[in-house]
Structures are given as C-alpha cells and as structure tokens.
Amino acid sequence: MGEEAAKQVKPWLRTLTRRLLLQATYQWQISQAAPAEIEKQFEDKLQRADRAYFNDVLIGVVQQHEALDARIAPKLDRKLSALDQVERAILRIGTYELAHRPDVPFRVVIDEAVKLARSFGATGSHRYVNGVLDRLARELRASEVGSAGAPPAGAPPSMAPDSGAPD
C-alpha cells in the first residue's frame, strides 16, 4: 500500500479491523482452520472494516507464524508457548505489521496492540506487549525509531533526545 493510500485509511477503521484480526488470529491458533474459512465467519463484520488489510494481515500471520515466532521469542522472558493465546495473537499481529506493513507507523502498531491487550488480555498484559513490541520495533524499524527520537532500549529517561532548549 502506498503512502497516499495509507493516509486515506480512517484510524477507527483500522482499529475495528485489528479487533477482528485479534479474534480471527485467536481462532486460527485454537482451530488451525484455513484463513478463508475463518474469514467467512467474519463476513458481516468485515463489511464495516478494512477487508484488504484484514486479509493481508491474517494470511501473513498464518503463513509466516513460525518466522514471526522466531522474531518474538528472543524478546520474551518465557517460552512463547507459555504466553496466553490472546497475548500471542496480539504479538503475532504486531510483529507482522512491524515487519511487513511499513505504511503503518511503528508507534501506531504498538499503540493499537497495547489497546487490544488492555481490552482483551490479562491484567497488566498491555505492559508486556508494549515492551516486547518496542524491542521488536527497534530491530525491525531501526531507522524509523531512530528518526522518531526514541532513546535506546533500556536507556534512562535522562538519555531522551535533547529538546533543543538551552539548559
């Protein structure tokens, strides 16, 4: 998707689409059903969502789940299999977006994933999701993260970029 087309997408539409993606990815993780079968179950809801985005991300997550998991696993403090299914689905979606959807700013990917974790994940899971995706963004979108002025991962607040104001 080109930059112009990305600007035309309404944010609320992508938010709705990500909620549906979470449900579909969760369902795939449990059932291993084909993405086309899962999509059929969302037919009514997809009429109000960004269907192309839904298809791209769902198919991408399903087809590339092993590669996505390989990127996620080193950023975790436990085995991927120990994660709750909801958090695993959110991390897979977010990692796919970071790796394959450069039209979506990294901060939007992380913010939307955190919102999903707050709404559907276990208590406090949004902080975990935030930390994992932040570390992945620094790896997968290094130039974008760097140009956004984010301090290095694990850096104390005093290392935040200078505001340009005199001391």
Spell out the domain ranges in the chain. Answer: 3-147
What does the pLDDT read at residue 164? 41
pTM of the model: 0.83
Of the given ranges (11-15, 18-22, 108-112, 158-162), which has the lowest mean pLDDT? 158-162
Give CA–CA dist 100/61, Å, rounded: 10
What are the tens digits of pLDDT across the range 76-85?
A: 999 999 999 9
Burial of 12 (0-12, 13-18, 19+ CB in 10 A): exposed
Token match 């340009």: residue? 164
Q: 134-138, 144-148, 155-159: which range is least confident on average?
A: 155-159
CATH class of 3-147: mainly alpha
How far are the Cα atoms of 14, 84, 93, 98, 119 from residue 2, in angstroms, in the given order? 16, 34, 20, 16, 30
Quickly list H helices, the chain.
Answer: 3-8, 11-31, 35-41, 43-46, 51-72, 85-100, 106-120, 125-140, 142-147
Query: Does 31 have pLDDT greater than 60?
Result: yes
Q: Are 97 and 73 in contact (CB under 8 A)?
A: no
Is the predicted pLDDT of residue 123 greater than 70, yes or no?
A: yes
pLDDT tier for residue 151 given thresholds of 50, 70 and 90: low
